[in-house]
Structure 1
């Protein structure tokens, strides 16, 4: 059977588009500030055939993937350590939770002072954004491992390495997958934020909006925003599919 498409999700976007077209076509707003949908489509068509646009997409996605990978690896290691060791939780946990309360964007002045405005600062910022949700997901997953599982590991005389890879990580898989999904979403937001706030006129989707703002090209700004939303939505959908697949594999049959 084919899955029926729920059209109700399109009701609000279509209503907003209709309202946008109505107020601009009726001359109710300043069309230099709130541009008509038709002019946005014309700029979008021109932008989509520009190789620099697709180069920017690739740079942003690659930047996002690199920073996310660093933050995710650090988050799994740190979360596993905090979840498996009460001593580590007492020593590191309070500092981690205190730093987690600092707004992510508050790190930008310090990162730009340390690393400048290049790729290193961007990657560290993206990695930090992914680190927190992945750490928390891994911590919760490892801490939720039942005493029965631990007893089985003790009976079979698992080594420390076997406990990690054959007990803790598989048992904590669903929570880790959720943390990775949240981390990927956070990493994309941080990717675009870094391109805005650590701008050095490099490549990336954020630079499209910067160019539009500098030229007062509102159409290009809107096209950039739509592109950011579509790419972010695609990444979020991909992460959700991967999470569902992991949970399906882990579920008892």
Structure 2
């Protein structure tokens, strides 16, 4: 019996103990670099290795964080930024799904509009700032328009590619079974294109958040995390700047984690 088990289990035959075979790398390893960076930052500040005006101590940043949270300033700034980001994301994603669907499903529309869109997407996003500021001013409307453009392009590109790259073998099966055009779209093309569409929406979420900070930094009217960075920079408060950068990174990480959770649930749903 033992020889049979060894022959069907290469690890056991090699004499590797079960704990060594099943142990997975600890997730804590991802914290090594951040902890090391903070420790180095703390040491450089404590030993006065760097000008304190340029690199404030972690304690000073912590005190600023406590003050921002206690006074509610960070919540007002973060709320304004997220409201703009989600509005621009929703508008850009909706328009992107519609335009990407038309480009993917209608060859004639693709031949007419596709070349113009390919030219449009080559223009740097920030090159639109002067035009947007003249047309819409420096307020929330201009920022939402800018964020909508940031979300639009990845959704259009990935939606169109996902639709046009539906496996020919699946389309052939649909033809064999006599599917109508709408049945083919609903039961074959869209399910096959769903991963690409989700990738476009995911990129739109990330790009629109990154563009939010840029819009607030360049279109300075109103509140927002970008304006918090500007305030810290203008008053030479590096503690406020570092705290604002930490909040930006934290929100981006939460968005990324949330998108991955949704992606896994969609994958399980498609598997069922």
TM normalised by structure 2 equals: 0.85
Output aligned runs, 1:185-224, within 5 Å. Answer: 185-200=206-221, 202-224=222-244
- CA distance in 2: counterparts of 1:24 and 1:52, whole angstroms: 27
Deviation above 6 Å: which 4+ runs of structure 1?
none
Output aligned runs, 1:109-128, within 5 Å. Answer: 109-128=130-149
- CA distance in 1: counterparts of 2:166 and 2:262, whole angstroms: 22
Please tell me whether residue 13 in structure 1 is matched to residue 34 in structure 2. Answer: yes
> Structure 2, unaligned stretches of length 5 or more?
1-23
Output aligned runs, 1:22-171, within 5 Å. Answer: 22-150=43-171, 152=174, 155-159=178-182, 164-171=185-192
Matched with 1:240 is 260
- CA distance in 2: counterparts of 1:218 and 1:58, whole angstroms: 22
- CA distance in 1: counterparts of 2:171 and 2:100, whole angstroms: 18
- CA distance in 2: counterparts of 1:188 and 1:74, whole angstroms: 18
Following superposition, the deviation at residue 66 of structure 1 comes to 0.7
- CA distance in 2: counterparts of 1:169 and 1:122, whole angstroms: 32
Q: Say if 1:40 and 1:220, in contact at 8 Å, map to a contact too.
A: yes
Deviations 1:176-198 (A, max 9, x none): 01111111100100111111111
- CA distance in 1: counterparts of 2:251 and 2:103, whole angstroms: 34
Larger radius of gyration: 2
Following superposition, the deviation at residue 170 of structure 1 comes to 2.8
Matched with 1:230 is 250
Q: 1:224 to 1:78 in 2, by over 3 A?
A: same
TM normalised by structure 1 equals: 0.91
Q: 1:196 to 1:33 in 2, by over 3 A?
A: same
Q: Say if 1:178 and 1:243, in contact at 8 Å, map to a contact too.
A: no
- CA distance in 2: counterparts of 1:95 and 1:158, whole angstroms: 28
- CA distance in 2: counterparts of 1:240 and 1:214, whole angstroms: 37
Deviations 1:98-150 (A, max 9, x none): 11111111111111111111111111111111111111111111012234544
Tell me the matched-pair count: 249
Following superposition, the deviation at residue 56 of structure 1 comes to 1.6
Q: Say if 1:181 and 1:243, in contact at 8 Å, map to a contact too.
A: no
Following superposition, the deviation at residue 169 of structure 1 comes to 2.6
Following superposition, the deviation at residue 14 of structure 1 comes to 1.2
RMSD: 2.1
